[in-house]
Structure 1
Amino acid sequence: MASLDSKKVYITRVGLKNFQGELKRLYEIRREKVGNPEEDPDEVLLLNQKIEEIERVLKNHEIIKFPSKNKRDAVQLGATVTVEVGGHTSDLTIVGPPEVNPPLGLVSHESPVGKALLGCKVGDVVTLSSTIKMPYKIKKVFYS
């Protein structure tokens, strides 16, 4: 069984660039903080933990590859899905856990929503099993 340090993590090309940029920014912040006696040691510790987390993602990442054009009708990792839920339409992009950001519509393929949408096609309706049953109608599937 793979350890957390070596487990493959899926990220998009955009996510890769974002993580690389964030790591560079955090290195610069750390350079300013280390050795400064006025810095809070807990803050430096949190900064180092964030750096290690991003380094682990970059070390173990695998770029999400889109399916061939003839297989893009089904929701797979990397797909953006237009769904209708409760009369409202929104776009959800299926990503790996490191990129999750629900306010931006980035949901993990390991989340209940992500798992339910994987394999669906336009016109399908899936209902999540939670305290409130919410049917998700697939309106569009695209890769970009």
Structure 2
Amino acid sequence: MMSEKETILTAEGLKKLEQELEHLKSVKRKEVAERIKLAISYGDISENSEYDDAKNEQAFIEGRIITLEKMLRNARVIQNDEVDTEIVGIGSRVILKDLEFDDVVEYTIVGSAESNPSENRISNESPVGQALLGKRKGDVVDVNVPAGVIQYEILDIQR
């Protein structure tokens, strides 16, 4: 049997996944079942796009529920006091200076399940995340991106 991949989460990330799972099970399942019932009441389901859409949505919801349950079953929650402020790891907030453009950016390193680049929550598996892991304040890291190499200096590591 293949071992399932550990899902590394912050406490906040765990809560979000649990809420999504609860919502899918309690609300979305009922909604889609109602849609299917309604579509069937229209008669011939062989040419019924309502029915097809509802069945597709149902398949998506059930797939997502399975995925979330697997993630939660294999979740390892990083506690705030486990986050090292000496070395970059999952849960670290890292203040970086882009050496080329002199911009200062801040990223929180999270597991891939809760990465959200628009909130500056980047995955430990992303190019920037990988480059930063294990590094210390004052280190300069090279990040390979499609456009070339970005050099960041780590200004600070916080919880």
* Superposition TM-score, scaled by structure 2 size: 0.79
Instruction: Answer with 1 or 2: which has the greater Rg.
Output: 2
Alignment of 1:29-40 (within 5 A): 29-37=28-36, 38=39, 40=54
Provide the C-alpha distance between the structure 1 equivalents of 2:123 and 2:110, rounded to a whole number of angstroms.
5
Q: Which residue of 2 aligns with 1:103?
A: 118
Alpha-carbon offset, residue 138 of structure 1: 0.8
- Over 3 Å counting, the alpha-carbon distance change for 1:75 and 1:67 in structure 2 is farther
Question: Following TM superposition, where does structure 1 have runs of at least 4 consecutive aligned residues deviating by more than 4 angstroms?
Answer: 66-69
1:2-46, Cα deviation, whole Å (9 max, x unpaired): 43xx22110000001111111111111112212533352111111
Contact kept, 8 Å, 2:32 with 2:57, in 1: the verdict is no
Q: Which residue of 2 aligns with 1:142?
A: 158
Aligned length: 140
Q: Which has the higher helix share?
A: 2
Q: 2:71 aligns with which of 35, 57, 63?
A: 57
Q: What's the RMSD between the two structures over aligned residues? A: 2.0
1:127 aligns with 2:126: no
Provide the C-alpha distance between the structure 2 equivalents of 1:121 and 1:7, rounded to a whole number of angstroms.
27
Provide the C-alpha distance between the structure 1 equivalents of 2:89 and 2:31, rounded to a whole number of angstroms.
42
Q: Percent identity?
A: 31
Q: Which runs of 5+ in 1 are unaligned?
A: none
Alpha-carbon offset, residue 129 of structure 1: 2.5
Q: State the secondary structure of the residue aligned to 2:22.
A: helix
Provide the C-alpha distance between the structure 2 equivalents of 1:67 and 1:14, rounded to a whole number of angstroms.
14
Q: 1:81 aligns with which of 85, 88, 94?
A: 94
Provide the C-alpha distance between the structure 2 equivalents of 1:66 and 1:24, rounded to a whole number of angstroms.
25
Provide the C-alpha distance between the structure 1 equivalents of 2:114 and 2:139, rounded to a whole number of angstroms.
26
